[in-house]
Structure 1
Amino acid sequence: MLLYLLPRFDNPMTRPITDRCSFPSTLWRAIRVVGIDPAAVLHKAGLPGSVHLDPATSLSTSQYFAIWKAINALADEPCIALKIIRAGDTTGQQPGFLAGLYAANFRDAISRLLHFKSMVTSEKIWTKEEQGRWSMGRDWPFATEREPSLSIDLAFAYMVELGRRGTGQRVRPVRVQYARDRGRDDALESYYGCRIDFGAGCDSITFANEDLDIPFSGYSPEFLEIVTHSVLGAFAKLAGDDTVIDRVKSAMKRTMGAGRPEAAAIASELGMSERTLQRRITSEASTYRALLIEARRERGLELLQNPSFDIDAITTMLGYESSTSFYRAFKQWEGVSPGEWRLRRGMDRGI
């Protein structure tokens, strides 16, 4: 029997699934550690180079997939997923993974990890339990193509890694199925400890029930409650408990690098007509022009805090036609030039 995962500790008000994904900052840091520049990834994915600076940036499923495909292409090596997981030991693991380490057993840890993950992506997780085995996979309601192989590899490997670290044993899946054809996957197969079935009807991973019931040595009910509450709060904010104004500004920040974001384009990205967008903005006592000014100001201040970006680069990322236009706008926002703003904060680079 196939079941779609229903979280045991979620708000009883079920949110509708929308085409919105987030890419965690912990993953961006891990990707940098393995030698891949986030800005290069975003460039190859056709996205603004500043997306990795704001983990709250909302992405569509197609944009989310494009990032994973770009990482895989730039890595150009097999099993990059395993390197990313190991890099997390120095850059910080994802919150859901850390919370899972304090769960009661492997089954509880997986449930929490999958729930936290589903809060920030539009994936729909399914599980199946029969004949002493538990299987998991996921569908993407808004996808127009197959999920990238690296995204799948990392999701399954994280589950295996969570089980091994939590139990202190070499937990192995009893079966891994990939819809893709076999490639350079020997190291990944060795990591799982079982043969991978390629060319399957879907992507799934299966564990024996007896392994799921192995208790975690670090189980701490008190700490788990604290961590879970904290992670749920942070993920709920990323998952979309925001206003239309927040969503519009997020979309503006994501697209402004290609030029001044037009209302029709933003409306389309948010899945509504331009007329509906304008009405929703008005209902929240604002205007499109005011939101664009706010979005540019917020993004501009974020970018200026990164000394690796010069004024010309920031001008482009904010969608201004010239640095003169950016200087003029910034002085209206802050009363000083971008260079003076940085100088006062000890970030002057001779601008």
Structure 2
Amino acid sequence: MTSHSLDRIKFPAIFWRGMSNFNIAAHDVIRKAQLPLAVLNESFVINTAKFFAIWQAFSELVNNPAECIVKIAKGIETAQLPPIVLAPYHSRNYRDALIRMARYKQMCVPERIHIIEKGEFCSIELEWLYAEQPEPPMLVGVTLASLLEIGRRGSGYSMTAHALELSGQMSNVQALEEHFGCRIKLGAERNRLTLYRSDLDRPFISYNAELLEILTPALDRSLNEQQRSKSITEMVKWIMKRSLASGRPDIHIVASELGMSDRTLQRRLTDKDTSFKQLLTEARREKAIEYLADTSLDLKEVAFLLGYEDLSSFYRAFRLWEDDTPSNWRAVHLGFDEISEDSLGMTSNH
């Protein structure tokens, strides 16, 4: 299991206090997740894998996860909400609230909320940046149910969803279908909540301009400070690695992911005595080593995952990096028999 220096989560104390609502002890959840009791300390930092383990353990201890999701979403007390969630509750309308949630939630957990408006619908998709395992269905359900609850409370209108897709499995989903007002598709390709786009324009009766004038600048400063504290080169390489399989990453795409212009990104990389091209080479080299260490991947698959159109291009690049062929590197480091380049259609000058 790989780790990332930016994969850091502090579990909120409100979660542990909420265990009593389901007659579950926090210690039992932690033990089932096979984690140290130090997790109960608010200052204790965990990664995404451990965060998922806690939610999975919690879901296995409750009687009915679907009913639990609804209870958590409806039981949210606004007065206890942290500023990053309080601001959306007092937004101008539902669209503004969702945008604020997507912007500020990344300050707490390494999760992206993608909002896509198209035609008469708006889809919301969740992406955990450092996840190596699927998200626990209960965690996904709580997140999406809470996003819908924000719209209902803020607007005072009992809006329903058009569709809900969950990649995992869950039994007795009737409670969830009643809550969202739509059928639920389990085992889907992705976790996605589809809303009616017209609902995004519903004004919030809880709109509080004065409160937002106080919260927004403070939240933006905290977000900017958090982003500045991260290594720009590390973030760029992480985005590159995530998108290699779909082709060579473009600077415009990477800059957009970081919320800056192409020129700003180039300037910041120059300040670090590096370049976009150099980081792309480093990202590919690091991922190549990681993939070659995975015995389930053959060399053609490794080349594809690195964004190379053919195996010979990968061989040429790897020889420049390691002064060795990928097959021989794997043989030396993992104790495999070297794969003949001739059998792969490679010539000696590659």
TM class by smaller structure:
0.5 to 0.7
> Which residue of 63, 67, 85 corresponds with 1:76?
63
Distance in 2 separating the partners of 1:39 and 1:240: 36
Distance in 1 separating the partners of 2:91 and 2:79: 22
Match of 1:66 in 2: 53
Match of 1:188 in 2: 176
- Whether the 8 Å contact between 1:30 and 1:91 is mirrored in structure 2 is no
Distance in 1 separating the partners of 2:5 and 2:92: 29
Distance in 2 separating the partners of 1:201 and 1:182: 15
Call closer, same or farther: CA 1:50–1:74 in 2, change over 3 Å: same
- Whether the 8 Å contact between 1:39 and 1:50 is mirrored in structure 2 is no
Call closer, same or farther: CA 1:36–1:182 in 2, change over 3 Å: closer
Match of 1:197 in 2: 185
Match of 1:208 in 2: 196
Letter of the 1:180 partner, please give it: G
Structure 1: gaps of 5 or more residues: 1-15, 244-351
Match of 2:323 in 1: none
Call closer, same or farther: CA 1:182–1:41 in 2, change over 3 Å: closer
Call closer, same or farther: CA 1:52–1:240 in 2, change over 3 Å: farther
Superposed, 1:150-161 pairs within 5 Å as 150-161=138-149
Query: Given the alignment of the two structures, is residue 108 of structure 1 paired with residue 93 of structure 2, yes or no?
Result: no
Q: Shift of the alpha carbon at 1:59? A: 1.4
Distance in 2 separating the partners of 1:131 and 1:17: 39
Match of 1:292 in 2: none
Match of 1:21 in 2: 9
Q: Report percent identity of matched pairs.
A: 31
- Whether the 8 Å contact between 1:20 and 1:121 is mirrored in structure 2 is yes
Call closer, same or farther: CA 1:141–1:230 in 2, change over 3 Å: closer
TM-superposition CA deviations, 1:212-242 (whole Å, max 9, x none)? 0100012122211213345556778889959
Superposed, 1:1-351 pairs within 5 Å as 18-54=6-42, 56-79=43-66, 80-89=68-77, 92-231=80-219, 241=229
- Whether the 8 Å contact between 1:97 and 1:162 is mirrored in structure 2 is no
Match of 1:283 in 2: none
Distance in 2 separating the partners of 1:99 and 1:181: 33
The Cα RMSD (Å) is: 2.8
**TM-score with structure 2 length normalisation?**
0.58
- Whether the 8 Å contact between 1:26 and 1:91 is mirrored in structure 2 is no
Call closer, same or farther: CA 1:91–1:149 in 2, change over 3 Å: farther
SS across alignment from 2:204: coil
SS across alignment from 2:103: helix
**TM-score with structure 1 length normalisation?**
0.58
Call closer, same or farther: CA 1:86–1:30 in 2, change over 3 Å: farther
Call closer, same or farther: CA 1:58–1:37 in 2, change over 3 Å: same
Distance in 2 separating the partners of 1:28 and 1:203: 25
Distance in 2 separating the partners of 1:232 and 1:161: 24
- Whether the 8 Å contact between 2:33 and 2:53 is mirrored in structure 1 is yes
- Whether the 8 Å contact between 2:165 and 2:191 is mirrored in structure 1 is yes
Q: How many residues align?
A: 227
Structure 2: gaps of 5 or more residues: 232-350
Distance in 1 separating the partners of 2:227 and 2:60: 28
Letter of the 1:228 partner, please give it: T
TM-superposition CA deviations, 1:150-187 (whole Å, max 9, x none)? 11000001011100100000011111111124521110
Letter of the 1:217 partner, please give it: I
- Whether the 8 Å contact between 2:102 and 2:112 is mirrored in structure 1 is no
Letter of the 1:88 partner, please give it: I
- Whether the 8 Å contact between 2:152 and 2:158 is mirrored in structure 1 is yes
SS across alignment from 1:88: coil
- Whether the 8 Å contact between 2:177 and 2:184 is mirrored in structure 1 is yes
Q: Shift of the alpha carbon at 1:46? A: 1.8
Q: Shift of the alpha carbon at 1:100? A: 1.2
Letter of the 2:86 partner, please give it: L
TM-superposition CA deviations, 1:287-312 (whole Å, max 9, x none)? xxxxxxxxxxxxxxxxxxxxxxxxxx
Q: Shift of the alpha carbon at 1:210? A: 0.8
Q: Shift of the alpha carbon at 1:209? A: 1.5
Call closer, same or farther: CA 1:96–1:202 in 2, change over 3 Å: same
Match of 1:8 in 2: none
TM-superposition CA deviations, 1:304-340 (whole Å, max 9, x none)? xxxxxxxxxxxxxxxxxxxxxxxxxxxxxxxxxxxxx
Asked which structure has the greater CA Rg, the reply is 2
TM-superposition CA deviations, 1:257-312 (whole Å, max 9, x none)? xxxxxxxxxxxxxxxxxxxxxxxxxxxxxxxxxxxxxxxxxxxxxxxxxxxxxxxx
Distance in 1 separating the partners of 2:38 and 2:228: 20
